[in-house]
Structure 1
Amino acid sequence: MIQRLPIRRVEMHPLAPAPQDEWPATLPPVRQVLQNGWELGPVTVLTGENGSGKSTLVEAIAIAYGLNPEGGSTGAMHTTRSTESNLSEHLQLVRAGGAPKKGFFLRAESMHGFYTYLQEVGFGGDRLHARSHGESFLDLVAEREHITGLWMLDEPESALSVSGCLALIGQLRDFVARGSQVILSTHSPILAAFPGADCYELGDWGMRRSEYDDLDLVRTWRGFLDSPERYLRHLD
């Protein structure tokens, strides 16, 4: 069976090359994508330190796909404060013929504003505001299970407990089984363990494919849980 992914490849737009000496192209992972392109599979997980470029890439791909930078589907029109880079203007998304064109963007940092937008347009944002952050987050995903296409998530673990992270993986696995594609940035070793995902680690070296056990995120968490005092003593 031929897999028709919403995005097969991300590359620099031939008619709108990005200045290589200006941010965000100065970030090694972004520069790597612009220079070499990036092939995507059904599930992609991005890890790396703060400032490595994870959210910058996720946000730019979402915008280039037609999704609202503050979250939502292709039809969401809300905005509070524009902070996104212009990277999306320099990206070309290579889509598979016959692939779904719908999508949804979830970013934890702007969910409160998104719920308010849903309330204003009569789509139940008041109910989402009334629940805990994690509960409303999972409810929102469940209520959009009919969307088959590109699902993009930027650090969703900030809203979720361990059980919430596991529940989210379960929801997203069902979506992928029905033909959706997932691109996820995270600091969570739980979400990074998404079965079958292509894991990438971002840093000063650029972007590199990595096995789960080799991710610095996973090794650091394991070291901390085995011996937290080894890490905490450096705070003195």
Structure 2
Amino acid sequence: MLLDRDTQYLKSIDLKRENISSYRNFPLNLPVIQHFRKLDFHPNVTYIIGENGMGKSTLLEAIAVSLGFNPEGGSLNFNFSSFDSHSNLHEYIRIAKGGFRPTDSFFFRAESYYNLATNIEELDKGGNSPRIIDSFGGTSLHEQSHGESFFATFIHRLQGKGLYILDEPEAALSPLRQMSLLARIHELIHDESQLIISTHSPIIMAYPEAKIIQLTEMGMEETTLENTNHYKMMEQFFEDRDRLLHHLFGEANKK
């Protein structure tokens, strides 16, 4: 069953502008914050996309932290810190929740996934039963390839009827695995899940009827897959690869 406007877990996000005295310092100096406007989440999947430095991960981190997740990822029960580097943006955002609550939740962050896997190993050394790793498929995440361990989380740990925040989930996935993740997203959506995803992958952001929010130097705008910079760049590359490579290599030779 799909969530809809009446049953979705997260409704919207806005700025607490009354708490902001200056936009000069990070993270308030990010274009997405300086030009922020209220964002209504799609009941099923919302993509936050944009070039590096536009604030995608910082925004997702703020959403996750404000909801009670560990900044480095995991479920609401994880409480560890390898390096305290998260911003204080969560102090300046206001999230509107729906009337229904998810039965499962998870914040996946590619950047700190290794730290999460290590924390699971340390917690399971205590001999508790069931082991935490059992909910990730039972095999140590450190004993799998990077991509396999990512996918084990998506397949085993995300159990449905949940709220899932995924920051660059494609980071270790081959194109084939990215398509498999797209199929997994479809399964989760049809099991009453809502997802908020930051990605650079046109494959991942191809879910039908999803909301795509593109971050640029001018702020944020809703767009379609075909109009994203990511899609246009890949389309240009594959349709006229020789010309594009000639231009790229010519620029490199000038340096």
Decide: shared fold, TM above 0.5: yes
| Partner of residue 27, structure 1 | 30
Percent of pairs identical after alignment? 32
| Partner of residue 94, structure 1 | 96
SS in 2 for 1:151: strand
1:1-236 equivalences in 2 (<5 Å):
3-13=6-16, 16-17=19-20, 19-33=22-36, 36-41=37-42, 42-100=44-102, 102-122=104-124, 123-124=132-133, 127-229=140-242, 230-231=244-245, 232-233=248-249, 234-236=251-253
Checking the alignment, whether the CA contact within 8 Å between 1:12 and 1:18 is kept in structure 2 is: no
Residue 171 of structure 1 and its aligned partner are, at CA, apart by: 1.3
Residue 150 of structure 1 and its aligned partner are, at CA, apart by: 1.7
Checking the alignment, whether the CA contact within 8 Å between 2:211 and 2:222 is kept in structure 1 is: yes
Residue 166 of structure 1 and its aligned partner are, at CA, apart by: 1.0
Checking the alignment, whether the CA contact within 8 Å between 1:46 and 1:201 is kept in structure 2 is: yes
Equivalent-residue separation in structure 2 for 1:14 and 1:108 (angstroms): 30
Aligned residues: 234
Residue 196 of structure 1 and its aligned partner are, at CA, apart by: 2.2
Question: Which ranges in structure 2 are unaligned for 5 or more consecutive residues?
Answer: 125-131
Equivalent-residue separation in structure 2 for 1:32 and 1:181 (angstroms): 26
SS in 1 for 2:35: helix
Equivalent-residue separation in structure 2 for 1:186 and 1:192 (angstroms): 7
Equivalent-residue separation in structure 2 for 1:17 and 1:5 (angstroms): 29
Residue 14 of structure 1 and its aligned partner are, at CA, apart by: 6.7
Residue 72 of structure 1 aligns to which amino acid in structure 2?
Answer: G
Runs of 4+ that moved beyond 6 A: none
TM-score, length-scaled by structure 1: 0.91
Residue 27 of structure 1 aligns to which amino acid in structure 2?
Answer: L
Residue 21 of structure 1 and its aligned partner are, at CA, apart by: 3.0
Equivalent-residue separation in structure 1 for 2:201 and 2:78 (angstroms): 28
Structure whose CA Rg is larger: 2
SS in 2 for 1:182: strand
Checking the alignment, whether the CA contact within 8 Å between 1:18 and 1:87 is kept in structure 2 is: no
Residue 172 of structure 1 and its aligned partner are, at CA, apart by: 1.7
SS in 2 for 1:8: strand
SS in 1 for 2:10: coil
Checking the alignment, whether the CA contact within 8 Å between 2:109 and 2:168 is kept in structure 1 is: yes
Moved more, 9-18 or 212-221: 9-18
Equivalent-residue separation in structure 1 for 2:200 and 2:188 (angstroms): 22
Per-residue Cα deviation, 1:199-218 (whole angstroms, up to 9, x for no partner): 11111110011111111110
